[in-house]
Amino acid sequence: MAFAYPTLFLLFTLIFFTLPGILLLQRSKIMLTFFEKITIGTIIGFVLFTLMAYGLLIINASFLLIPIFGLMSLFCTKNIFRSKMNYSAADCGVSLRASSSLKHSPPQQVFDPEISDQKAARYSGFRINLDLLPKKQLIFLFFVFILGITGQMAVIAPSGTYFNKDLVFWSSNGHDGAWHIALMEEIKKGYPLQNPAFAGEKLVNYHFFSDIAPAQFSKFFQFSNLDLYFRFFPFIFSVLLGSIAYLLGKKLGGSYSSGVWSVFFVYFAGSFGYIATWIKNQSIGGESIFWATQIQSSIGNPPQIISNILVMLFLYLFYIYLSKKDVVIFLLCFIVAGTLAVFKVYAALVILIGLGIVGLIQIIREKKFNVFSLFALSSLLSAILYIPNTQNSASFLIWEPWWFIRTMIVAPSRLNWLDLELKRQTYIAEGNWKRVLQIETTGFLIFFLGNLGTKFLGLIHLVKLLKKSSNNYLFQLIIFIIIISLILPLLFLQKGVAGNTSQFLQYFLLLFGILAALTVSLIQNKIKLKILKILFIVIIVALSVPTQIGLLYDFYHKPPLAKITSDEIEALNFLKLKTDNNTVILTPPHDKYLNLNIATPPIWAWFDTAYVSAFSARRTYIADTEQVDIMGYDLNKRLEMERKIFIDIENPHNLDKTLKEIGINYIYFPKILRPKLDLNKTDFLKLFDNNSIEIWKVN
């Protein structure tokens, strides 16, 4: 039974993502290989599934989702068998076993897990001539994938598991996981969507599209929310991240090695943070000490890893469209770019701004509107999807130039280089602008190179792109995305949690990693002496992976950061099973100064999270104030009310009246955080009581 649910999930992924995506690709006149069809088809299918689910959610017809995509899968399968009825090895010019002549073919003809013959490339089915692959290259590529996926899964899969009957969480997964699971439960309830941690208010200013597909899988197939969020979907996303990186790197570099190195830089290459941590305390780590979170860590942030996948897919499809001008590929580019805003608005900004600039360049140079039309249509779709779910977002970004560099230098948790900042301030006071410029340049270079790590080698290929970009719109787009995703966080902060704007840097790091892969591949191929080639590879790997190793060490050498005890799980299940779907629950205010002196504290003592909403499937009056604040809600009144109820009110009549006025149905609290007022003196009914938790009903 341990493998039954993962196997079933993979089967449903094939049926509801891969095959519907391939069905759309079959309408294209472009010859795609097996590997391309599986990868692109799955990503496109996921996007279409999400988009369709959202549309059906709005019209209260979600029950049609599974039949529609089931029929699409049947049509795709029918097309595959119909078109391959007469398929034979002779038809595509290859044998099912490698011929002796093929065994001696030049490496460039057989290097890839794809069918190179054009007729075979038309094959939309699931047979693939693996004998065409050099076994060493296939095994090595598979090894890199396995290692990369394992490394990513290691930082998320252990969370949301049971240990001694308690549900445990590592890293920030207790907070982020609770929020996304709460959103999944909200989506399952139907439209209009409310904020599960701010009951009664519309869900706005958040990219919830990443939670729609998991919510539907939970609703229709009864998969565990914990498995879907912490294990099943992360596995699929990790596979797709490496696969599309391989395809994009191979397409741009034109070789197997450029594809493999692209996978390596996406999965393993971190920052130079380990140099800083070694100087500070003789340890390796510091993945985000220069502020940017590395690509491999995006596994814990569903909107981020999905946007990374979609950005690479868009560039890949854009490459094909520019060379073939295929209408279906144009449509796919439109869908991917147009939906990015509701998966991750940062990604949409860098793609659409870059696309708009390239479109204007094409109009000026060629008097053609292909690219600008794509920009305009994608922007329109983005607006249609994004604006209805947005409110008061004009002040979303705050002008604060150089904040990341300044805080990187002075923050104790980062470089803690106060002397450099004091020198800068002294030189400003003296009017010594030459020295000020020198210090600012030093800070920028540390920020730039520190975040990139070995990905800085991409500068070499970036120069090549600049030289060739005058007549190549793809190269122009890549360059503009890199520039935009670097400049925006250097100039703006996000309201609420300032550091969130550093997520723009993900696309800067992502594309620099691909360019670095092309550079390393080129250098590797130019080194003729085998021992020097091996030495070069060892150096690149050794300089790239320490922060990833440090991340895993930090993750596993500590106990879980938070837990939901078995007593609390019992209480949350009671709420889920015994209360109405639209119930509103009042929980205690988070006390950040509370210290229980426990290695793994209860989640409510660790951080302010939406865990009650997540695991009871009920909305809370106010919770996860950090997330709610980022989204632009006015917290003050509810925070005051929460404090008043739990700490200030002493008159039972006043409490009863207050709770009824604000629409509270139940009060939920750990006994350590019980209200100051004795609830036995009220008209409330105690519905649940165990060793740790009490639940009271407001009559």
CB atoms within 10 A of CB 101: 7
Phi/psi for 667 (5° steps) reads -110, 125
Structure tokens at 516: 């670095």
The model's pTM: 0.92
Helix 433-452 and helix 418-430: axis angle, to 10°?
A: 150
pLDDT of the residue at 394: 55
* Residue 594: strand, helix, or coil: coil
| Euclidean distance between CA atoms 274 and 161, whole angstroms | 30
CA distance 673 to 360: 60
Q: Are 284 and 301 in contact (CB under 8 A)?
A: no
CA 45/CA 15 separation, integer angstroms:
9
Distance CA 290, CA 448 (A): 9
Instruction: Give me the pLDDT at residue 93, please.
Output: 42
- Cβ neighbours for 431, distance < 8 A, ≥ 6 positions apart: none
Give mean pLDDT in consecutive 10-residue pieces for the chain, a chain of 699 residues. Answer: 87 97 93 92 98 97 97 92 58 40 37 41 42 75 96 95 95 95 97 96 94 98 97 98 97 95 97 94 90 93 97 98 95 98 96 98 96 98 95 75 95 94 95 96 97 97 93 96 97 81 95 98 95 97 94 87 97 97 95 90 96 98 94 91 83 77 93 89 92 93
**Distance (Å, rounded) from C-alpha 469 to C-alpha 471?**
5
Distance CA 369, CA 251 (A): 25
State the alpha helices, DSSP H only, in 84-194. 100-103, 118-121, 135-153, 173-189
Q: Which CB contacts under 8 angstroms, 24+ apart, belong to 659-663?
A: 659/586, 659/698, 660/698, 662/621, 663/199, 663/200, 663/584
Q: What is the pLDDT of residue 84?
A: 64
For residue 495, what pLDDT is reported?
Answer: 73
How would DSSP label each residue in 245-309? HHHHHHHHH-SHHHHHHHHHHHHT---SHHHHHHHHHS----TTTTSPPPGGGGGG-HHHHHHHH
Peptide bond into 602 cis (omega under 30): no
